[in-house]
Amino acid sequence: MSIEGPSEIAKPFRGFGDRVNTEAEAFAEAFDKYVSDLPTRNKFKAAKELVNEFKEIAEEAVAELKKHNEREVRAQLRREWGDHMQLSMSNSPSHSLGNSLATSTAARKGEQVKELRAMQEEVDTWELLSLILDIHYNPDKEELQRDKEDEVARMGPLHHYVPEHEVWERFLLEDDVAKERSLIKTWLEQTADHQESDLESILEELESKSGSRGGLSSKGWMHTREALKAARRGLGWFGPVLDEAPRIDRTDTSELLVASLDPDATARQLRTLEKPDQYFERAMWITCWEMLRRGMSWEEISAWFEQRNEGWRAVSIGKASSPADVLSNAAWRRMCYIASLSGCSNEYEAAVYGLLGGNAQAVQKIGRSVDDHLYAYYSAVLLRQFDSYLSTHRPDRFSQVLSKHTHIDEVANDPEYAQRQITNLILQLRQRPETKGDAARPLKIIQSYLLANEADSLIHTLGIAIADLDTREGTAGVENMIIRRFQNPEQTVDSPEADIALSPQSLRIAVHLCLILREMRPDPIDSDDLDFEENVVVAYIQRLREAGEIDIVPLYASRLQHARYIITLGKFLSDIRNPKDQGTMLRLLQEVYHLDVVSILEHHIQHIFDPSLRKGDEHERPLHIVEPSKEAFHPGQRITDSFLPDAMDGDDVAVIQGLNWFQILRGHWKPTFKALTLALQQCLVTGRFRCAQEIIAEYPYETVSTRKSYEVIGMSINMMEYSGSMPGDEEEALQWQLMRRQSATYYELEKLILAIESLQHPWRIEEKKYTSTPVKPAKTPPTVKNAFTGVKEAMGPILGGILLNPEDEAQAKTLRLIRTQYIPELLLGYNAALHSAGNLISRDFSLESMDLAVAIADDSTGFAEAFKWAGRLRELMQQFASTSRNMLVLKATGKAWKSKKDRVGKELGIWDIAGTGDGHEDGLGALEAA
């Protein structure tokens, strides 16, 4: 479906690429099926399936991106990781997650990395939501509890010989908070490769900078070992005692080298290694950290170290690396904790021991991202929670001495306390210089709310952020689709959540999260909260409009409240101007989503009028039909040349196209004529007469009536001009009468416009052509006579009075204004035409000015009060006086006046003038002779 007028409010979507459009369509298809199946499905299971389907869509996008860019992406990720790590001998880590993309010279590759990373992060987000749904949204709590109790019973009671891994499993089974933390910790491990670089790329980067042909495969501190050997040979020193060791400086600096090669020599002796060995040592601990960060097992880590002749490192961490083995190793973990506090060669070694021993601070020192800090927190708190479990359930394996040196958090397993803790940490990460940039990214914001179990709060906050963003952008005059909380931009708050609305990807995720959670909500929310929540949906609809995804919009609009979708779709329909597309959209709204189409279309018409028909002031005299004239054959005024406007503007076109919706809509007689009537009223009141002309040309009463009447009563008739017999059935007869009343004003407005048109074309054109001809024909040309016949036919429906039966007070005020604006002008023009025709065609037409005077004097026509309201009674009297003088002139020719049958019974008075004549010789000629 094509569009011609996308909204200007959705500027951030102007970069909405084909791939993103494809994802929007895929999500809509999945969500549509979910909505259709909801009445017969378990809502929780349906939500889980939908989230998994969203995840699969994102995974397909990741696979597609990798297929075309994997080599470039991996190379770029390697470089980024190397920049982050600062692999020099400085121990100060780099903390900024996103700077490398900004400084990369390979802009194209950087964008590819960014795009792939964003899609992979979306996969991670859907995976996290799936976890959160399982943890917090499964409604069958009783069944979950029964399953837990059955599993605990199956495991049997704890005793001295229970295997370590079973104790850990039982701990996670019995403690819901611990289970949640363990699941999220695992999720953070799985996402580590997606946020920066995979382990393989990291190893390649480390080996490429090792300066050794063997890369990281070595025999330990080879360069330091060679320096010590040389010292022994040259200085004759062979003793192991540090005090006896000679001063051996590093090759490149004056720092002292270690005197022995045992693993803790650097910390114990406070000495250093040769530069290549120092790099090697740092690289080993970086690799160890990266493997632990990704959740690799002790077996995998050990195998990697064994391949590089560094098996002792695996032994040093092995006892505490697997949660299943920690039962008998609480003391070992405590040693790791202490080791992380001091005595480490670099911050990565401290981080490794801190991770194993539960020292979050040591881990946070090397954290480069929000996820690294979260991982440190979840790892540490989970170990403390397990210590607490051991001290309570297995005191025989958790000694009193160890209890004194182990931090036991008494409320670690309290859900509310746990939620407060993670919320506070997230808030801190938003403020820390090293993480605030990462924490403010849209997808990271969404993830943070999910981790804190505050998804509803996310949607509410985002809805408010959208409202404030809309206020600051000042777009209400154009769209007014977003419900605001403030009108003054200075009262708004610039929150990070607003960036979610500005990102097509994150907004798509947020809106589906919003709609899924709404279906699972047990109780309705406050109306104000619902308004802000629906701001998120409306914002997404606006973005879809900008992206040209028109077919998708009704699906999301159908999830709004009735009043909200009426407003939203009423404005959205302005984008669709092709009749075929309009028909397709109507079928979607009516047949697929069963929406209140009539109300939508009525609001749509109002929306069109707001910027177009209502933008002009009310005109006292929209048309200047008559102007002063001194020519003898005019009554002091003549019809103005070309008084009708020539061209329409863009707003006029929008009105014409907007009214077509009602022509496509089957039946609905009253709404159709209500819209047409409203359009004509607004056009005439604001002086947009050309638009009014085009409306009746595109939608003439007869055409609309014959088509709509067939759809309503099964007969194609012109309801206002039907002269046949009325239906015999009383109910049908009443329906016919009602249909006449409902369409009468449009019919009369159409007749008013046609009458005004007739005065210019063809009458004024033919009149001017004839009177301006130097040599006039003996007889008045048929074109002039036919032109005046057209005027009389057009005026016929007017002279009995029009626009006198409003439906309500508001319409009464409007119709009074239209009568004031147009009726005096029209009747003055008509009298001028009668006067002229009496001279140019036949003096009989001059007598019809008396008929016009009678009609004006008749209270039932309302003409006199229209002249009074317009303040133009003096003009009318002056015209009639001029016509009287004209008749006296004609009488002076001395020709007998021919009697007409239709004058029987009329008191001619001064109008009963003797004399006969016809055409130029007896009319215009007499005036010229006088």
Q: What is the pLDDT of residues 557-574, one digit of tens each?
A: 999 999 999 999 999 998
CA angle, 118 then 124 then 128, to 5°: 140
Encoded tokens for 140: 């069958």
pLDDT: which is higher, 401 or 30: 30
Encoded tokens for 891: 């009488």
Cα(171)–Cα(165) distance, integer angstroms: 10
- Least confident range from 316-325, 480-489, 911-920: namely 911-920
CA angle, 870 then 876 then 877, to 5°: 130
Give the mean model confidence (pLDDT) for residues 181-210: 81
Alpha-carbon distances of 174 from 131, 167, 532, 711, rounded to whole Å: 18, 10, 39, 68
Over residues 677-701, the pLDDT tens digits come to 999 999 999 999 999 999 999 999 9
- Which residue bears the tokens 């964008």? 111
Give the mean model confidence (pLDDT) for residues 614-620: 59
pLDDT: which is higher, 543 or 68: 543
- Enumerate helices (H) and strands (E) in the chain, giving the number of each: 42, 2
Q: Residue 746, class by beta-carbon neighbours within 10 Å (0-12 exposed, 13-18 middle, 19+ buried)?
A: buried
Q: Which domains does the chain have, with CATH numbers?
A: 18-146 (no CATH), 198-319 (no CATH), 626-929 (1.20.190.50)
Residue 220 pLDDT > 90: no
Contacts of residue 399, Cβ cutoff 8 Å, sequence gap at least 6: 331
Strand partners, 257: 272
Cα(660)–Cα(570) distance, integer angstroms: 14
pLDDT: which is higher, 718 or 887: 718
Name residue 706's amino acid.
Answer: T
Q: Residue 357, class by beta-carbon neighbours within 10 Å (0-12 exposed, 13-18 middle, 19+ buried)?
A: buried
Q: What is the dihedral of CA 860, 862, 867, 868, to 10 degrees?
A: 90
Residue 37 pLDDT > 90: yes
Confidence tier at 179 by pLDDT (50, 70, 90): very high
Over residues 798-849, the pLDDT tens digits come to 999 999 999 999 999 999 999 999 999 999 999 999 999 988 898 888 888 8
Report the SS3 class of residue 555.
helix
Q: What is the dihedral of CA 902, 908, 910, 916, to 10 degrees?
A: 30
For residue 54, how many other CB atoms are within 10 A of its CB? Answer: 27
Name residue 477's amino acid.
Answer: G
pLDDT computed for residue 612 by the predictor: 55
Element of type H or E holding 462: helix 455-473
Over residues 780-802, the pLDDT tens digits come to 899 999 999 999 999 999 999 99
Cα(447)–Cα(469) distance, integer angstroms: 22
Over residues 356-409, the pLDDT tens digits come to 888 999 999 998 899 999 999 999 999 889 888 888 877 666 555 455 545 555
Cα(853)–Cα(300) distance, integer angstroms: 108
Full DSSP string of 302-352: HHHHHHTT-HHHHHHHHHHH-GGG-GGGHHHHHHHHHHHHS--SSHHHHHH
pLDDT computed for residue 662 by the predictor: 95
Confidence tier at 868 by pLDDT (50, 70, 90): very high
CB of 173 closer than 8 Å to CB of 152: yes
Cα(634)–Cα(724) distance, integer angstroms: 42
Cα(807)–Cα(811) distance, integer angstroms: 6
pLDDT computed for residue 606 by the predictor: 87
Cα(632)–Cα(610) distance, integer angstroms: 47
Cα(643)–Cα(609) distance, integer angstroms: 24
CA angle, 831 then 833 then 836, to 5°: 110
CB of 179 closer than 8 Å to CB of 413: no
Q: Given CA atoms 317, 318, 319, 322 in this order, what sign does their dihedral have?
A: positive
Cα(585)–Cα(875) distance, integer angstroms: 53
Encoded tokens for 374: 């979260």
pLDDT computed for residue 114 by the predictor: 81
pLDDT: which is higher, 10 or 741: 741
Q: How far apart are the first and last CA of the chain?
A: 70
The pTM (predicted TM-score) of the whole model is 0.84
Mean pLDDT of the chain: 83
Give the mean model confidence (pLDDT) for residues 141-147: 88
pLDDT computed for residue 926 by the predictor: 43
User: Taking Cα atoms as reference points, which of 115, 7, 132, 130 lies closest to residue 68?
Assistant: 115
Share of the chain above pLDDT 70, in %: 82
Report the SS3 class of residue 716.
coil
Q: What is the dihedral of CA 572, 575, 580, 582, to 10 degrees?
A: 20
Confidence tier at 18 by pLDDT (50, 70, 90): low
CA angle, 453 then 195 then 344, to 5°: 95
Residue 215 pLDDT > 60: no
Confidence tier at 435 by pLDDT (50, 70, 90): very high
CA angle, 480 then 486 then 488, to 5°: 95
CB of 639 closer than 8 Å to CB of 626: yes
pLDDT computed for residue 921 by the predictor: 42
Cα(753)–Cα(700) distance, integer angstroms: 11
Please list the alpha-helical segments (H only) found in 759-893: 765-771, 782-795, 809-840, 844-857, 863-870, 873-892
pLDDT computed for residue 117 by the predictor: 86
User: Taking Cα atoms as reference points, which of 919, 927, 921 lies closest to residue 781?
Assistant: 919
Instruction: Give the burial string for 281-312 (b: 16+ CB within 10 Å, else e).
Output: bbbbbbbbbbbbbbebebeebbebbeebebee
327-333: long-range contacts at Cβ-Cβ below 8 A with a sequence spacing of 24 or more? 327/164, 327/167, 327/168, 327/390, 327/394, 327/397, 328/164, 328/397, 330/387, 330/390, 330/397, 330/398, 330/402, 330/406, 331/399, 331/402, 333/357, 333/358, 333/383
Confidence tier at 4 by pLDDT (50, 70, 90): very low
Cα(715)–Cα(225) distance, integer angstroms: 106
Residue 916 pLDDT > 50: no
pLDDT computed for residue 399 by the predictor: 56
Residue 925 pLDDT > 50: no
User: Taking Cα atoms as reference points, which of 261, 271, 265, 267 lies closest to residue 221?
Assistant: 261
